[in-house]
Amino acid sequence: MEKIAICPGSFDPVTIGHLDVIRRSAKIFDRVIVVVMTNYRKTASYSFSVEERMDLIRRSVEGLDNVEVDSDAGLLAEYARRKHADVIVKGLRAVSDFEDEFLQALTNKKLNPDVETVFLAASVENMFMSSSMIKQVCALGGDISQFLPAPVREDIIARLKA
């Protein structure tokens, strides 16, 4: 039976840290759906539209045949149910991420008892990285190229510098 995993996030923008979690998930599960979710705490601060974020992710995961990209503005638990997903995969950078992610996992389990949440620890080289940190470094004139997937690096930098 096919094991389907969902990698949710706002991905504004997609980073090499996100890509690391997606690639590792693609090795573990038969099918991985990367879903661009709407984070209502961040809607006013998005740098890229949902469609642009989906395009950046698609270009970044090219060659990963078991990965697809989608979007959703609803509840993750309901999205998982509609997609017949077995697992939600969340990357954790630090202990500070855990409390919020754990509460989300408990909520998703209550709303959809058929889905499990799996946490993947960030790779050491990506532990400090977040999309908001990358945006801040870029806004202050720093070089963010090392934090972005090569296929979309220039597009992201051009937008964030604009």
Which sequence positions are flagged as catalytic? Answer: 18, 42, 93, 131
CA 41 to chain centre: 16
Place of tokens 């509609």: 82
Any idea what DSSP says for residue 125?
G
CB 79 within 8 A of CB 6: yes
- Provide the token pair at 141: 């004139």
Any idea what DSSP says for residue 28?
H
DSSP 44-100: GG-SS-HHHHHHHHHHHSTT-TTEEEEEESS-HHHHHHHTT-SEEEEEE-SHHHHHH
